[in-house]
Structure 1
Amino acid sequence: MSATVQFIQYDAEKLEAKLMAGVDSKLDEFLKHFKPVQPAEYLTRQQVAQMFDVDLSTVHNWCKSKKLNPLGIGSRVYFLRSEIEASLIPLNK
C-alpha cells in the first residue's frame, strides 16, 4: 500500500531547495539549544602537581587549607578538573 504524492508547482530542484531550507532551519534551532555534556575528568594528585609544577606536599597543603576539594574512593584521591579550574582566582582585578 503506497501513496503517490505529486507536486505540480515545484520541479525537483525547487522541491529540494524547499526541503533543505526547512531542514536547515530546524537544525539551526536545535543547535541553539543543544549543549553537549562533557564527561567529568578526574585527576590524580600527581597529575595536579604536574599541572601546576608543584610538589605533592603543596597539593596536600592546598587540600588541608580547603583550596582544593579532594574526592576519594578507597585509598585513591582524585580531583575534578572543573573544580580545580574554578578554584583559580584572577590576580589583576
Structure 2
Amino acid sequence: MNTIQFIGTTPKDLITEIKNALIPELREQLSKDFQPKEPTEYLTRSEVCELLQIDLSTLHRWRKDGTLTAYGVGNRVYFKRSEIDEYINKNKLL
C-alpha cells in the first residue's frame, strides 16, 4: 500500500489518491470474500427417489423419522437439493 502525505495536498488530490490506491484493493478484497448466493433448488418427491434410487415408500419413511426434511407448498412436497447432497455425502461409504 502506498503512503499518502497530507502536507501540501489539496482535497481534490487526496480524493484522487484514495480512489487510485484504496478502491481497487478494496474491490479485489471484497470480490474474494463475497460471492453471489446461488438460489435454492427444490426437488419433487419423484426427483429425490430417482436421485437416491429409492422407492416412494422409503422416502415417506425417511421423512417421518426425520432423516430428510420436506417443505410443503400447498399440496406439494419439496426437498432442498443441498440437503439431499449433504445427506449423500454424510452417508457415503469409506
Question: 1:46 maps to what in 2?
Answer: 46
- Per the alignment, in what secondary structure is the counterpart of residue 39 of structure 1? coil
Q: Which residue of 1 aligns with 2:34?
A: 34
Q: Are residues 1:72 and 2:59 paired? A: no
Q: Deviations over 1:14-58 (max 9, x none)?
A: xxxxx7xx8864543232122210000000000000001111111
Match of 2:7 in 1: none
- For 1:41, the aligned partner's letter is E
Q: Give 1:87 shift.
A: 2.7
In 2, distance between residues paired with 1:40 and 1:28? 27
TM superposition score normalised by structure 2: 0.64
2:81 equivalent in structure 1: 81
Give the alignment's TM-score, normalised by structure 1: 0.64
Of 35-44 and 81-90, the range deviating more from structure 2: 81-90
Structure 1 match to 2:17: none
Query: Where does residue 7 of structure 1 map in the other structure?
Result: none
Structure 1 runs of 4+ aligned residues shifted over 6 Å read: none
Alignment size in residue pairs: 74
